[in-house]
Amino acid sequence: MKSLIEKELNSPDKILKPDFNSKTGRELLAFYLQSKFKQILAYDKRCDNPLFVGVNPDFANKFSRRLIDNPTKRLLIGITGESASGKSTICKEIKKNIEKFNLPVSILSTDNYFNDISKEIKEYGGFDNLRDAGFDLDAPSNFQLDILSRDLANLSHGEDIKAPMYLPNGTGVSLPNAQDISSNKIVVVEGIATMYDGVRDIFDIKIYIETDNDVRKERFISRACKERNQDEENAIKHWEYLINAGEKYIKPYRSDADFILNGNVNLLYFAEIIEYMHAITNNYERMPVEA
């Protein structure tokens, strides 16, 4: 990918920067981006460990139409996948690399839209007891999807929001209006709820992270034991719940994604793709200066 970046930056063959305020200029940009996107896919296909597992064939035309017809709308990117697939890691990588190019980006996790289940946890004597009693934690009904949908709509139209905060300490407490989230030019949203009904259609780009189950299991159990102080037996029990929940609530939306990405890919390669995308959208021929 570095070779593509260098070729792009050093190419004498560049287009004049389009006038994004005009529809004609945006149409030229859309056509240009489509041709460059094909280059990325062709390069990736030749890699030993490709990033793109699948691409929605309608994405390029749909996204181009969005750029042309609604240029002022914030760019919303939704990232989903089963537990420990790498959603948060890839989300952080996107944020880090976008910020490197001084582009404003906001990050939001849909995990903060879990319902407050502190009453139920107290009633059953603990989070694990509630799960073992058959409480379906990851079901869409256990998310504040109406609030999430409203917040995403507001962000997409340039309005800052106050998002809830779900405390990841086993208490099940959700604090309303606890996080200030700015409506930046790019808003990246990650979590299992990004593809749920009533939410997914607001995203301009929908990404599904797919990772081998063995890799996910190792990640999850390590994280549960080291970061959340769970014993291994209970971590394995929760992993078994997550496997079943993923089959019911996450995998069915795989086909709705614009991109299915390989969660095992090297993050350096992923960062290079972001760098190339920045290069192609900021590397134009300068207008000649009149004497």
- Upper half-sphere CA count for residue 201 (Cβ side, 13 Å): 3
| Structure confidence by residue, pLDDT tens digits, 162-215 | 999 999 888 999 999 999 999 998 899 999 999 999 999 999 999 999 999 999
DSSP at 285: B
Q: pTM (2 decimals)? A: 0.89
Domains of the chain in start order, with CATH, are 1-51+267-291 (no CATH), 73-264 (3.40.50.300)
Cβ atoms of residues 192 and 110 within 8 Å = yes
| Structure confidence by residue, pLDDT tens digits, 32-66 | 888 888 888 998 999 889 999 999 999 988 988 98
Contacts 24+ apart (CB under 8 A), 2-10: 2/272, 4/39, 4/40, 4/43, 4/276, 5/272, 5/275, 5/276, 5/279, 8/276, 8/279, 8/280, 8/283, 9/279, 9/283
DSSP for 82-111, please give it: STTSSHHHHHHHHHHHHHHTT--EEEEEGG
